[in-house]
């Protein structure tokens, strides 16, 4: 997909996939969903956890460990993704957070699906846009 023909949401999705691959050692999520609505950007990386993390997350203690690990990993490495989002949207990213979310949508101590949700609060309003698709395979 060429950069000029892709939508803002598609460009963000590709940036998020590349970021996830770099920060997790080339683990590629099964698919990604990007929702851009006014000043909020939500990136959901589906099946983004390693097989070992999925096993660990079956217990409440293990889920808490995986959740904290990903929270710290995102907090310590998200600057490059924030900069890429700023470049793509033309707006500064004011806040960013990542949370592991179970299939039902509630944030709990245990999860099974391995979805990672990334939410960015932008400094302005962008047109509402949504894109969902599979991650490109190498």
Q: What is the largest CA-CA distance in the chain?
A: 46
131: confidence class by pLDDT, cuts 50, 70, 90: low
Domain membership flag for residue 1:
no
Q: What is the dihedral of CA 23, 14, 10, 100, to 10 degrees?
A: -20
In the block, residue with structure tokens 């391995």: 114
Does residue 3 belong to any structural domain of this protein?
Answer: no
Place of tokens 């950069």: 3
Please indicate, yes or no, if residue 115 is contained in any of the structural domains.
Answer: yes
Q: So what's the pLDDT on residue 87?
A: 94
| Residue 92: CB atoms within 10 Å | 12
* Position with higher pLDDT, 130 vs 19: 19
Q: Does residue 56 lie within any of the structural domains?
A: yes
List, in order, residues 6 or more apart from 123 with CB less than 8 Å away. 39, 91, 92, 93, 94
**Tokens matching residue 120:** 């960015």
Name the residue range of residue 101's domain: 8-132
Q: Is residue 137 part of a domain?
A: no
pTM for the model stands at 0.74
Share of the chain above pLDDT 90, in %: 8
CA distance 25 to 128: 32
* 10-30 pLDDT per residue, tens: 999 999 889 888 887 877 878
Helices (H) and strands (E) in the chain — how many of each?
A: 4, 3
Please give the mean pLDDT across all residues of the chain. Answer: 73
- Residue 49 within a domain: yes
Q: Is pLDDT at 124 greater than 90 in this prediction?
A: no
Dump pLDDT digits (tens) for 79-105: 999 899 999 988 888 777 777 653 322
Within-domain flag for 91: yes
Instruction: Count Cβ atoms within 10 A of the Cβ of residue 58 and give its class: 0-12 exposed, 13-18 middle, 19 or more buried.
Output: exposed
Report if residue 99 sits inside a domain: yes
Higher pLDDT, 124 or 114: 124
* Number of domains into which the chain is organized: 1
């Amino acid at each position: 997909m060429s950069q000029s023909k892709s939508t803002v949401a598609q460009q963000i999705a590709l940036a998020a996939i590349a970021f996830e691959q770099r920060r997790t050692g080339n683990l590629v999520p099964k698919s990604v969903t990007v929702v851009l609505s006014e000043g909020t950007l939500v990136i959901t990386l589906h099946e983004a956890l390693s097989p070992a993390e999925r096993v660990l997350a079956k217990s409440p203690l293990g889920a808490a460990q995986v959740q904290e690990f990903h929270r710290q990993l995102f907090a310590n490495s998200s600057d490059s993704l924030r900069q890429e989002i700023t470049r793509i949207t033309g707006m500064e990213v004011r806040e960013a957070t990542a949370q592991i979310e179970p299939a039902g949508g509630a944030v709990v101590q245990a999860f099974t699906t391995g979805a990672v949700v990334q939410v960015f609060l932008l400094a302005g309003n962008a047109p509402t846009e949504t894109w969902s698709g599979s991650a490109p395979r190498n």
